[in-house]
Structure 1
């Protein structure tokens, strides 16, 4: 399986729901990553604010930051190769880069089931 690492710019959280306004792009990416995780696809993600050492330790990112500055972020690596800079992959790009089906990005909704007899409403004595 391919290995994707996302190096985010400095921000307070990766979901986009903090601060004065919601960033729909960050929310989309967080949702995609959550759906990938639920399908067994792990994507590493590092935020410059909370994980600065990851930026220092990764030679590729360190060199990019030294040559281009923080405006290059976010940077997306797949199998230690830069595949995208200055933006997040689209849903289609996530699928192509990770070689996964589009179904992996869809939210799976589980149906709730009640353990009651079919003709009963589930109340004691059958009366609500």
Structure 2
């Protein structure tokens, strides 16, 4: 599936989860429900995907974990915060860079309207 079509589909599924649950839950609840919806849609998804850090001659296998990795090309980072900060933007950009992934979506489920709190990032 083309990355833009994939992004569009995942955003629609995230909006469905948000419509059903509303704001105010823990990030892990939204992650599990979105993971369920993506798998149900027949899309390959990995949850809590390990992202090692390579620094010069060493590899740190216990680096970071991507919330959801879709079709090995779309990084999904979920938040339940009052508002995004520069640290959130830096985090997803770092994940894209470290994993050499083309596109990422940062989603804040702690909002009245999810579509106003989704940011797209390109590596």
Question: Would you call these one fold, judging by a TM-score over 0.5?
Answer: no
* Max Rg structure: 1
Q: TM-score, normalised by structure 2?
A: 0.30
| TM-score after normalising by structure 1 | 0.30
- Greater relative contact order (CA < 8 Å, ≥ 6 in sequence): 1
